[in-house]
Amino acid sequence: QQKVQQSPESLIVPEGGMASLNCTFSDRNSQYFWWYRQHSGEGPKALMSIFSNGDKKEGRFTAHLNKASLHVSLHIKDSQPSDSALYFCAVTLSNYNVLYFGSGTKLTVEP
């Protein structure tokens, strides 16, 4: 059974600072990795995905994947108050239809 764990549970960073979110997964057959963001009162929305080891950058967001250490991370540069939200890591196995979600990291960016 795939287990996806995120840390920290909550994170406070100053406006303009760097936020780093971590995720570990248990199944070495994990294929594809997503980061979703959920603002209060809304459904989650996909931020970015990664499937190869290394870094992937999209604007202020960089995802890093290391399959050997079963770890994926998200780094947010120049954090803005609008980045305050719940962030989820989600992982697929060979069935791409099914996503396994972590329990989330609550990010607060203080002006």
Partner 1 sequence: GGIITQTPKFLIGQEGQKLTLKCQQNFNHDTMYWYRQDSGKGLRLIYYSITENDLQKGDLSEGYDASREKKSSFSLTVTSAQKNEMAVFLCASRRTGGNYAEQFFGPGTRLTVL
Residues of this chain that bind partner 1 (CB under 8 A): 4, 31-32, 34, 41-46, 49, 51, 86, 88, 96-99, 101-104, 106
Q: CB–CB of 108/14 below 8 Å? A: no
Q: CB–CB of 56/63 below 8 Å? A: yes
- Shortest distance, CB of residue 102 to partner 1, whole angstroms? 6
Which one, 3 or 57, has the nearer CB to partner 1? 3
Which one, 76 or 102, has the nearer CB to partner 1? 102
> Which secondary structure element, helix H or strand E, spans residue 66, and what is its range?
strand 61-66
Which one, 67 or 106, has the nearer CB to partner 1? 106
Greatest alpha-carbon span in the chain: 42
